[in-house]
Amino acid sequence: MEKYLADEHIGIELLYRGKDITDVPFKDIEQFNKVATELELNTISDISSISKEFNIPLHYKELDVEEFIHSKMPASGQDVKIKTARVDMELAMYKERGLYPILQLLIYIIDTMRKHNLVWGVGRGSSVSSYVLYLLGVHKVDSYKYNLDIKEFLK
C-alpha cells in the first residue's frame, strides 16, 4: 500500500480548478517540490507534515459517537432492549478496531448529502450487516430485522 496518493497529473488538475494543493499527499515528494518551486508554492520537507486525519469540521471530530448513535435508536416499541444490546455490541467492535473516526466521517458525509439533497445507494455487501450503519443512514437495510450477523462485516 502506497503512503502517497496523488501524482503530478492530479496536482495539475487541482491547480487548474483553483484548489490549494499544499496538503495533498503526493506519490513523489521530490517531484511535487520541483513543481512547487516552479510555481512558488510551499515545498513539503518530509512526510510528517502531511496530515493523516480526516479533513472534516471540528464538530464532527469531537462528536460523541456513542451518544449520537444511541439518539438514533427507537425510544419505544418492540425489542428496544435487544436492539440496544446489538448497538452496544457493535459499538464495542468498532471501538476495539479504532473505527470511531470512520463513524464520525460517515456521520459528516451523510449529513452533507442530506443537506444537499443528494441520493446514495440502498446498501450493498457486508456493510448492510451493521445495525449501527443502518441507524446512521449509510444504508437502508435493517440488519436487526433480517437477523444479519455483524461479524460478516467486521471480520
Domain ranges for the chain, please list them.
8-49, 58-152
Q: Between 129 and 33, whose confidence is greater?
A: 129
Q: Which percentage of the chain shows pLDDT scores above 70?
A: 84
CA dihedral 15, 43, 6, 105 (to 10 degrees): -90
Q: Which of 44-48, 58-62, 118-122, 134-138 has the lowest mean pLDDT?
A: 44-48
pTM attached to this predicted model: 0.66
| Nearest-angstrom CA–CA distance, 33 and 44 | 6
